[in-house]
Amino acid sequence: MTLAEIGLFSAAFLFTAMFSAMAGAGGGVLMTAVLSGFIPPAALVPVQNAILFFNSAVRSGLYRKDINWNIAWPFVIGLAVGSFIGATVYVNLPEDVIGLLMGIAMLVFTWGPIKSHWITKSIPLRLGLGTVHGFLSSLTGVGGLLQATFTKLGLKKNERIGTFAVVITFNNVWRGLAFAVLGVSLVPYWKLIALAIPLAFLGGWFGKKVGDQIPERIFDILFKVIVTVFALRMLYQAVF
């Protein structure tokens, strides 16, 4: 990488880390867009996963006191199953079909008549949602289903950010293990990954400081708008 490319990547990833820590969502989509300009498509998902691990792990640490483990653990187990299945077939399914189904599911979970207690009281449902999210995120590098699901859990702002962050951290761990088992090597991109580590800490810390100043109601609207924008983006890409 040239000095200009290093500067551009650093600025883009710092913004991504700040934004995801502040808003609680959006890091995966933003990082996919950033990385697409630096690495070939075949390596995009594995490298994105490794870098986002640090981003979500930092958020998990910053919001560790707010994590709701009763909500999180079924998602974590489901993600393990879905990630390993998805990683084995992620190059064999048409992305337009995946994007279309994902976009529809995100909109339904965000704005549909789904009640929070259906998800919070149903361990099998959370296991199933985690499995589907893990599968799809291993195929495309971008999930979305859990972001939409978390708009329906009735959690307070920091509890939502912390719980979502730890769930996504495990998602990154499972996907990383699955790609390693399949023989995917990240060695050619170690400099890029190493550069992202301090930026994740700095962006996560600053994003939390800003996020703490956002009122609960504004945060809820912001979170739903982010999920909706990404859902519409997926639908647009799938159709056109």
Question: With helix as H, strand as E and coil as C, how does 45-83 read?
Answer: HHHHHHHHHHHHHHHHHHCHHHCCHHHHHHHHHHHHHHH
Banded pLDDT at 67 (limits 50, 70, 90): very high
Whether residue 201 contacts residue 51, with contact meaning beta carbons closer than 8 Å, is answered with: no
Range of the domain at 204: 3-239
> For position 173, what pLDDT does the model report?
92
In the three-class reduction of DSSP (H, G, I as helix; E, B as strand; rest coil), residue 36 is classed as coil
- Two tokens, residue 227: 């999920």
pLDDT at residue 63 tops 70 = yes
Q: What is the pLDDT of residue 154?
A: 77
Count up the domains in the chain and report the number: 1
Which residue has better confidence, 46 or 173?
173
- Give 198's pLDDT tier (boundaries 50, 70, 90): confident
192 contacts 9 by C-beta, under 8 angstroms: yes
Place 121 in a pLDDT band, splitting at 50, 70 and 90. low
pLDDT at 56: 83
Would you call 207 exposed, middle or buried from its count of C-beta atoms within 10 A (0-12, 13-18, 19+)? buried
Q: For residue 185, is pLDDT > 70?
A: yes
The CB-side HSE value for 177 (13 A sphere, CA atoms) comes to 13
Give pLDDT tens digits for 7-60: 877 887 787 777 776 765 656 666 666 666 677 766 777 887 888 888 788 888
Is 0.75 surpassed by the pTM of this model?
A: no
Which is more confidently placed, 78 or 91?
Answer: 78
Among 226, 223, 194, 211, residue whose Cα is nearest residue 66: 211
